[in-house]
Structure formats: C-alpha cells, structure tokens
Structure 1
C-alpha cells in the first residue's frame, strides 16, 4: 500500500487532499498530531485516531500526542489534579496501543498553554471569532452544550492555537472536530501561522448503535477483560442483514480487517463450517445477504478484539 492510500484509508474527509499529497512528497519530514482530552477510559472510538496516527507514522510522519489537561479542565471534566492523573493513565494506554515514546512526542497541554505568548494568541484569535462561531465549534464536544460556560467557548480557540504552537502540519480528529479544525484553517493565517491539513475519521457507533461515549457506557475500553469483551459483544446491537449503524461490522471495518488480511469466522460443520474473507467488503456483503449470522459475527469479533487488546492488557497490568 502506498503512502497516500495508507494515510487516507478509513477516513471520512481530508481537507485538502492536494495539500496532503504535497506534504507526503516534500523533502521535509511532515508532522501530525491528535489532541486527547483526559476525561475517562480510552475506548475504541479514540483508537480510530490512534490507528490513523500509526498509519501516518508508517508513512514517515513525526507524531505528537497532546494530552489536553487544560481543555479537560475548561470542559468541566474535573480538577487539574484529577485530569492530570487521567492524562498519565491515557498516555500509558496510547503507548500500549503502539504509540511508544521512542517515536511519539507526548505533550501535556499545561506545559505550554499557560505561557504569555500562547495566551496572547488566544486573545488575538478571540477578537476575530464570533460567539456563535465559537459555540458552533464547541457543540459537538461540550460537556454541557445546553448551558455552556465561557470557558467552553475558549476551548475551540485554544484547540486551533494548539496546532500552531505545536508546529504541526496535520491535525487529526474525528469528524466531530471538523468545525474546530475549520476555525483553525481560517483563523490561524490571520495570526501569521499556516493553515493545517485536516484528516477526519468517522464516528464509531457504540454497542447500542449510537455514538460511542464513555459517559453512556456503550463503549469497548482498551483494558476490558476477555470476559467483558465476550459479554459486550453478545449484547451488541446487530440486526441480521442490517449494515447501517452496526457496531460489530464497524469493529471489523476499522479495527480488525486493517490488522488481519484474512478473516476466519468459525462455525460448526452443521451450520456450514468456517467462512473466510480476504476483505471487509466481502464480509459485509455476506452479512447483508444474510449468509453470515449475527451471533457468528459477534463471536468472531470478540475473539479478534481480544487478540488486538491482549498486549494492552499486559502492559497496563505491568505498569
């Protein structure tokens, strides 16, 4: 797989593909980052962007992971002490998932976001950003979007400026980050910074078919036990023949098939024996045609996900 194909696979949107191609073909090593708000368990929705950072790393990018403790504090996720403890836990999870410290730069937001230079830029960007624009940018990620605090309006302005102050070429995030990234692309050049290329990943459906969220409990955590995984997969929303908003199929598309080129669905001989697929598209087609039963799909998903997460469990226990 060539570099561009690797970077663009399983993405929702690239802004812009032409700019990304220019970065890939440049002589200078390009850089990319994701900012993670330390606010709870790392779930498979977060791992979508981790997967993309690993793809970018393989394509030759230098990677930065922002542990956004100040953002979490502004978004009412706890005291600074509480969110910094969660940030340390999150960092260990990311390392266990493959973003090791040898080739990934981990940065705590408070290490630079409280500097006078950064805060002056916050004020400058605030002068050119309307309240409506800030609120629209924050709606998707706000803890309390119905009655937001002023601090939450500062959040997207800071996130835009993180891209500039970290000096990265590419901002990676879920498609729910799009409005914030567009604010960065439009606002940063006015302050003398370059506009970032933006890579957006899809939103992974939760086990109930809705958006995966730690607060809703409909997620798979990276440190779930083997039995937890089996139990969660057994109860996952998965209607026979239905592809849309199917969380089990989503696990195969975004987490399993990128790691396993050949997928085996184990079945008793009396039910036709094992099925083998060399692509996600073939697996989805069989499921849509009702040639693959939901329970067989769920059982296979639990087995593969437990294989993927076993190294994470081991490293987390070792710590």
Structure 2
C-alpha cells in the first residue's frame, strides 16, 4: 500500500489528525509506536471498539501498538480500589485481543512504571508549566460529575502526558474527550525536551439512551461480549427517534460496525409492512431521514447484524475463559 492510501485508511472515520503532515513523517520511520490508554472497567463496549478498530489499522500500517491499562488513572477517577481495578485488567486485555489486535500488541499496566522516581519528577516539572485552569478543563469530559472537584483531577492529565513520554509514543489515539489532554501533551512535552506525538481523535459513540457518550458507568452500553438476546433487548430499548439521523445511536452503530464491514444492511420485515430491504448506507440514511423506515425495523436489522459481527468476539472470550478467572 502506498503512502497516500495508508494515510487515507488511517484517517478514515476520524474527526481530527493533529497534524497530517506529522503523520506522514511518522510513517516513514522504521520503528514507530502508537498508544492508547484505557481505564480498566467492568465491561468493554462498542465505544471502546471504535478506538480499537483504529489501533488495528495503525498496526497494519506498521506501528507497534502499546495499550496502557491505566489502573492508577482509574483510581484517581474514583473507579474503585486498586485491587478491584487490577482484577479487571486481565479481562480487559483479553477483550482487546478478542477485537482483533495481534499477538505482538504490548499491554502495559500503568502502575508498573508510574511510581518510579523519574516519572514522578517529570510530573512535578510538568506541574510547574501547567495552569490549574487548563488542567481542570482538560478533564471536563473524563471525570464523573461532581459539585466539589478533587485534586486528583489535575494530577490525572499531567500523568497522562508523562505516560506518552515514558512509553516513547509517536502517535496517540483517543476519543474527542481526550483532545484537551492530547493538546496539553503537544504543548508541553517540547518544554521537557521531547517531541510531541501526532494525535488522532475518533468520534464518541452516543449511549443507547441517547446521551452524549456510551459509558459502562451509565449503563447505556452494548458490551462486546453481550449474548445475542441481551444485544437485541438493549437495541430494542435504545433511543432511536423517528426520522432523526444525527445523534441516533442505532444509526451510529450501523455506520461504525456494519457498513465498515459490509456494503449493505439486511432489514427483514413481514410482507404486510413492505417486505425485506437490503440497503446501502446512503439508502438507509435517506430512507430513515425521510421517515420511510420504522425505528423498530431499523433496530431489528441492526441487532441481527451486530449479533453476527460480534460472534467471533464472544467465541474468543469463551475459549479463553480460563484466563479470565
């Protein structure tokens, strides 16, 4: 694959690449590393899967992939005790592998290096050049809502910047909620004598309840290992307003997980309601946007297809169940 085709594939479906020119320079390197950090959580869901798909693309483009299982970050974000968080990390690791990352993907537990003396000193140095206002703003879409903010909220983004330094990152991936932290890294790593990473931002998947972000803490998610009946039940209950395409989680799921794998979506309907439909993405958007497709028909079609797409993931995790205990 030539350079332009590789860049097109990497940037496909992203909201932003900072910067395309720097990405081109990184691709020329013989050894290059792309990273993303995840707070270990109880369930890996479709929101996570969007970024994992991008990591797979980068892997195919020659990047060494480093996945940070950010246990200390999760602790600072009030996600439980360190013991509870670490227990779930292995399960998360297997979930990411089930989504198709290759065996040479490197999984790194944050606490394995984040208490080192040199790491702590770099956090202190970064604290000297970062305003309190900017640190808090960078966490606006990441922390849980609270009336009174914790000091941990301003330590978190500083640590994330230093993570990129310690992991020798050429490229950082994240949803748009990570943008302010990524920009903090780009502005401040040169002050510490290091090169800024290229940053790639992917869309956030709306929750099944229609809220801005799919989240395990909000119970508005579809897990990648949900059983077929659970997937169908969750999609049937999902927010899916008649005739509305923007902000519609069912339309988004079709875009990110169905039409990225196949050209058409089969929607099965009784003859009395018009019979079966096989629609391209453009046809689906037009038909649904004009109110000519019932939400329940859309939901049924997406649910059936998603169940099939996630079958290899469920099978992988069942096969590796002994590793998760």
- TM-score surpassing 0.5? yes
Decide which of 10, 13, 16 is 2:16's aligned counterpart. 13
| Other-structure match for 1:222 | 224
Shift of 1:273: 2.8
| 1:73-118, Cα deviation, whole Å (9 max, x unpaired) | 1112111111111111111111111124x23111111111111111
Note closer, same or farther for the CA distance 1:29–1:269 as it changes in structure 2 (3 Å cut): farther
Note closer, same or farther for the CA distance 1:27–1:141 as it changes in structure 2 (3 Å cut): closer
Note closer, same or farther for the CA distance 1:144–1:298 as it changes in structure 2 (3 Å cut): closer
Note closer, same or farther for the CA distance 1:315–1:284 as it changes in structure 2 (3 Å cut): same
Q: CA RMSD in A?
A: 1.5
Q: Please list, as runs of the form range in 1=range in 2, the aligned pairs for 1:135-146 lying within 5 A after superposition.
A: 135-146=136-147
Shift of 1:271: 3.0
Aligned partner of residue 42 in structure 2, secondary structure? coil
Q: Please list, as runs of the form range in 1=range in 2, the aligned pairs for 1:1-319 lying within 5 A after superposition.
A: 2-24=5-27, 26-100=28-102, 102-210=103-211, 211-278=213-280, 280-318=281-319, 319=321
Aligned partner of residue 138 in structure 1, secondary structure? coil
Give the Cα separation in 2 of the matches to 1:194 and 1:117: 18
Shift of 1:226: 0.8
> Is contact 1:139–1:145 with CA below 8 Å preserved after alignment?
no
Shift of 1:221: 1.1
Shift of 1:192: 0.7
Aligned partner of residue 172 in structure 1, secondary structure? strand
> Is contact 2:17–2:199 with CA below 8 Å preserved after alignment?
yes
Give the Cα separation in 2 of the matches to 1:75 and 1:290: 42
Shift of 1:275: 2.1
> Is contact 2:33–2:171 with CA below 8 Å preserved after alignment?
yes
Shift of 1:42: 1.0
Using the size of structure 2 for normalisation, the TM-score is 0.93
Following TM superposition, where does structure 1 have runs of at least 4 consecutive aligned residues deviating by more than 6 angstroms? Answer: none
Give the Cα separation in 2 of the matches to 1:59 and 1:120: 34
| 1:195-218, Cα deviation, whole Å (9 max, x unpaired) | 011111111111111121111111
Shift of 1:69: 0.6
Give the Cα separation in 1 of the matches to 2:145 and 2:243: 37
Note closer, same or farther for the CA distance 1:38–1:298 as it changes in structure 2 (3 Å cut): same
Using the size of structure 1 for normalisation, the TM-score is 0.94
Shift of 1:9: 1.3
| 1:271-296, Cα deviation, whole Å (9 max, x unpaired) | 33322234x23321221122322111
Shift of 1:22: 2.4
